[in-house]
């Protein structure tokens, strides 16, 4: 359970950070106001880039915390600049780094209950990780990537996957 969660989240958050750096460099090179990219979205009813990053962060730290039997740390969701988004990712990675395998391994059947809006969701640990947290995390990381591509940032599949 640990190997399928924490290292995966950390790796992808590092890749997201590198993509974000390329977005920042693109904005500087093209003389685009950074908030234009940070607030860009793929479609009017979708969340903007900033929210995609916040949610990816929330899913990663929330999953790790819940599997470890801890209360997920709360972040203010007030980022509006590239440096603030870098800090958010770094803080999430640092938190995930505090979680140890013995806190998470063996949680396959652990009951995970969480509130999302007006719904209470209950899962066993493995389905929570594999069927809820991981797909949700990848959805928001992918959407952040897609927003940058849509805006013209020169990134590709290797940026998403990262170096092996």
- Domain of 60, in residue numbers: 6-161
Residue 1 lies in a domain: no
State mean pLDDT over 145-152.
Answer: 97
- What pLDDT, on the 0 to 100 scale, is given for residue 136? 97
Q: What is the pLDDT of residues 35-89, one digit of tens each?
A: 999 999 999 999 999 999 999 999 999 999 999 999 999 999 999 999 999 999 9
- Packing angle between helix 82-98 and helix 49-68, nearest 10 degrees? 10
State the pTM of this model.
0.96
Question: In whole angstroms, what is the distance from residue 53 CA to residue 69 CA?
Answer: 24
If one counts the domains in the chain, the total is 1
User: pLDDT class for 117, splitting at 50, 70, 90?
Assistant: confident
Compute φ and ψ for 48, nearest 5 degrees: -75, 170
- Whether the per-residue pLDDT at 164 is higher than 80: the answer is no
Q: Report the percentage of the chain scoring pLDDT > 90.
A: 97
Residue 53 lies in a domain: yes
- What pLDDT, on the 0 to 100 scale, is given for residue 78? 97
The CATH code of the domain that includes 36 is 1.20.120.450
């Amino acid at each position: 359970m640990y190997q399928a969660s924490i290292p995966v989240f950390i790796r992808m958050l590092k890749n997201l950070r590198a993509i974000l750096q390329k977005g920042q460099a693109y904005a500087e090179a093209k003389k685009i106001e950074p908030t234009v990219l940070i607030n860009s979205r793929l479609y009017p009813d979708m969340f903007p880039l900033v929210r995609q990053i916040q949610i990816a962060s929330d899913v990663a730290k929330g999953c790790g915390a819940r599997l470890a039997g801890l209360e997920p740390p709360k972040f203010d969701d007030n980022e509006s600049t590239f440096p603030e988004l870098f800090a958010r990712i770094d803080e999430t990675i640092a938190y995930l780094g505090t979680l140890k395998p013995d806190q998470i391994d063996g949680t396959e059947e652990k009951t995970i209950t969480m509130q999302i809006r007006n719904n209470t969701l209950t899962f066993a640990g493995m389905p929570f990780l594999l069927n809820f947290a991981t797909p949700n995390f990848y959805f928001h990381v992918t959407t952040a990537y897609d927003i940058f591509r849509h805006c013209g940032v020169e990134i590709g599949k290797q940026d998403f996957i990262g170096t092996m």
